[in-house]
Chains A and B, each alone.
Chain A
Amino acid sequence: MSTRMELTLANDLTEIARLADRVEAFCDEAGVPDGARLQVTLVLDELVTNAITYGYPDGSRREDAVNVILEHDGQQLLMTVTDTGIPFDPLTAPEPDIDAALDDRPIGGLGIHFLRSFMTGVDYVRDGGRNCLRFARRIDETDTLP
């Protein structure tokens, strides 16, 4: 069994709630365990937030800025996030120092750290004026069933 969802978002942070609602509904329908659902929601939220916040420095509004595809093939969730913003390869972003003391703790970079920590098979290409990021979240026996 394979299920698929596709969602197009404007470059406006109010879209994050809609993204979260749609991911939750998809995961409920596909029987994805809570732990995996929350990690996927978090990583998609972080990536889309980054694309909206940094991808359009000229401030232009785009109704079709970000496209999110979520597929479930029974064993894993496969995510594809594309956006029309300025080129950005998250795999080249420096790792945040997560061991720094409070006063030296950096404020940014955690979203991409979550991508690296929770997801597998992360792949980035710049294709046809779009950033295209693919990654997966395997559903395994360590995930409690919903």
Chain B
Amino acid sequence: MKENLSFTETEVGAGSILAARGRVDSSNAGLFEEQLVAAQSRGPSVLIIDFTEIDYMSSAGLRVLLMTAKKTKAAGSRLILCGLSDHIREVFDVSGFSVIFTICDTREDALSTAGL
């Protein structure tokens, strides 16, 4: 149960892609936050979070994303999300998050949008 959330980070030019795998809920949102803070602290011009392998996320994950978006904006860099499942996309829509995040269908679209 401890390993229900894992990450792979890939540098692409001045940007970075953080691919998450598993599920994000209130029991492991702290780990999600640590990973996003660490990825951001390395100062990428664009941080892409790839959700392709994430099949579930609760508001605990949305809270971390909201904080990350605020920090990214303050740091003058960009945050792009990609690979959201239909269910997570629905949760974003209902939360009003779809309009405050840049969301791309695929990692390729995200890289293209980022100019990487």
* Interface segment out of the listed A40-48, A84-92, A126-134: A40-48
A98 to chain B minimum Cβ distance, whole angstroms, is: 3
B113 in the interface (beta carbon within 8 A): no
Contacts of B94 in A (CB 8 A): 98, 113-114, 117-118
Contacts of B59 in A (CB 8 A): 46, 110-111, 114
A16 to chain B minimum Cβ distance, whole angstroms, is: 5
- The A-B contact count (CB < 8 A) is 71
A69 in the interface (beta carbon within 8 A): no
Instruction: Categorize the interface residue count of chain A.
Output: 20 to 34
Contacts of B56 in A (CB 8 A): 20, 38, 41-42
Number of B interface residues at 8 Å Cβ cutoff, please give it. Answer: 25
Which of chain A's residues has its CB closest to B26's CB? A49
* Residues of chain A from 98 to 131 with CB closer than 8 A to chain B in the complex: 98-103, 105, 107-108, 110-111, 113-114, 117-118
A46-B58, A102-B73, A111-B59 given; A17·B27 CB < 8 A:
yes
The residues of B with any CB-CB pair to A shorter than 8 Å are 1, 4, 23, 25-27, 56, 58-60, 62-63, 66-67, 69-70, 73, 86-87, 90-91, 94-96, 100
